[in-house]
Structure 1
Amino acid sequence: MQSSTQSNRCQHDYVEVYDGPLHSSPLLGKICAGSLHTFTSSSNLMTVRFHSDSRYTFRGFQAHYSSIPADHNTTLLCLPDYMRAVVSKDYLQSQGYSVQSVTMSNSHCRPTVTSQEVIFNVPYNGCGTVREENNDTINYSNIIKATSSGYIIKRKKDLHLHISCKMLQNTWMQIMYVAEDIADVNENQFGRYDVNITFYDSASFSQPLYDFPYYIDLNQNLFLQAYLHSADKDLVLFVDTCVASPDPHDFNTLAYDIIKSGCVRDSSFATFYSPYSHLARFKFNAFEFINRHTSVYLKCELDVCRLRDYSSRCYQGCISRSKRDTSSAQEKVDVLVGPIQLREGGAESRSTGNVK
């Protein structure tokens, strides 16, 4: 990324560039005015934050960005239920290690070996994975080892490949590095939690409905369940906002708020008891807004937090927009559901689980 030159004396408008998510990543630079400056992130995520004192108006800032190919010797992918670590066979052999020497501390966790790669699927709740918490992340870590040949005389140290998935709100930070005498290899990636929303036929939430569009009657109760796909059950899901719109690409121009920043805007909205923290159940009634449009879509924003972390967003309830703007930024999962259509006379009831 390129932008104006960096300065420590920014008195008016300025731009901050972070190496990853806001508030949890190092500041790469603070930019005011002047010549071009280049920043390089350590992952596929960079945050650009603009500050303005609203006193003067000038031409503003301009930025250009491009992507750089990652190192393909080692890669790490943090999936909902496990870490997927891939090591190149050519890389191992070039460092003097055999494929057969690559193991984990738990001997039952064996890799899949292809013609080009050694692949470990490491569960978050197994294979010796360690779970640690700090103020704003949940860290899952493990070690893949490659031993050098020879039992009495070893001419090369063992290779330790440290893998770590770090969860910040709903964002995974993925890290892979090699320790000891091997050149450090760092793989940083960011992804999102897998969350879906499904309609159900009643408040018992026993029968999901999957066909689409979802044909309904005016004032009919709509029952929805949000589900967080994660092997870690010490997480909680919170429905922050749900907005309806006839346009699945625009939830601002013509929209109807059902719940906004945890504040109920439609009197028919209600939540239900959930037997699991990674499930959120709620309902509302079909409303006149649906009657005026051919199809209506829902866009819901959900928060993912640590269970029983009562300082987190999931336990704060209704927060006004003005108060919320003064707090730290919240990472969210956006889920789109729809379309919902009014049933015509004689049409059979249908439903949707169409989630994007």
Structure 2
Amino acid sequence: MYLPMFVQPTPRNGEHLNAEVNKELEIRVKAEATHSTITDVIISGPQNITNHMTTQGEFVIRWTPIREDLGEHFPICFIAEGVDGSSTYQSEMRCVLVEVRRTNVKAKVVCQETTMTVEVEKSSIPGVHEDHLRLSDPSNSACDLQRLSNSTHIIGVIPLNACGTQIEEDDDNLLFKNEITTFDNPNDIITRHHQVEIQFYCQYAKHGNVSLGFSTHRESITVVEKGFGTFTYQFEFYQTSEFTSVVNPRDYPLDVVVKQMIYMDIEATTTVNNTEIFVESCRAAPYDNPNYHPAYPIIENGCNVDETVQIFSPRHKRHFRFGMESFKFIGLHDQVYISCSVILCEAGNPNTRCAQGCINSTSPQSADHHHRKRDAPMQTARHHISQGPLRLIKTSESSVTNMNMVFMAGCFLAAIAMVCGFVLYKAKATGVKYQPLPTFET
């Protein structure tokens, strides 16, 4: 297939979208082709419309309506373009119709060197209670929206490297994105009753004044669960297999060469005695996103998948130590993040997931047994913890500089003086409404 074909999250042809005056509208477009390389998306629409390609292969179309656009309808059309050698191939044309409306959700976001602060006026989302709102990943106690909220505003101070914050980049900017959504049951992963989805992000220019910098090192995560109280997971890299010298957080991103052994340690800290840790899965990806695909499996269902994995003796039952040879993703990705799914169990209990160890996922009996044990009170829910990035370097230095690698390192290590904050608002029942926030300087 040479012709590009649109895939999710591209909107349907003829879809109606809602935008608001002085608020940025974002339309995400993605196309795939088997025998050609997607290089561009050609767009047609109102003035000041822009198009940027992200590192995840998506194209982001952005447009901010002005007051004169209120009440008007604007078509935005786009075509994906693929290239194979000297031949160029184009997809079908898709168009969406954008209606410009008045502002609904009232909110603002302040971007700082290591955090995003978002404030939403409660009066602008009537009927939505704060104890039914959460961030993308609420497992860390710092991500609890009730912690700082008051009688008039829902307030969250979100670390750039926690709470499910995703990192995205284009040619000029780094974007740190998260969202506030409603939920019915905190353990649910799907819902049909969401009332609002408030997306927000901070945009950092790649070129700016350097000061303290954004630390890429991931801090520990703290979790509170019934029966286990408050406990903490810490994921660290070590210098050698002796596990006596932890890698300094200031040394991130870590420079390694392909096939170099890397050593990792995951530790659970809790006041509850007689507990043990179980690492159910570990995956590697070029981005710090546990849901990123494709990801490379290292450990699956408690079983070693990568042939270079070595398991080392822990200091105690709440430790898991392992090592493996470093590798590089095929393509332009020069960095790797390791993300693991971990469980804390009652030690010595034969009915826990920890006691089961490696499970053959193809066995129906094992899968059913696993499902029943997952909800047992003698073990916690699964929690994701990640660390990185590892930055792959060549064994012999070349005179040609890898600009992509230098760009990434510089962006993550540099604190940018000028940043932008935006909120995107979506009412699921009535279509898409986008609302960015004012711009602030730190």
Question: Shorter chain as normaliser: what TM range?
Answer: 0.3 to 0.5
- TM norm structure 2: 0.36
Larger Rg: 1
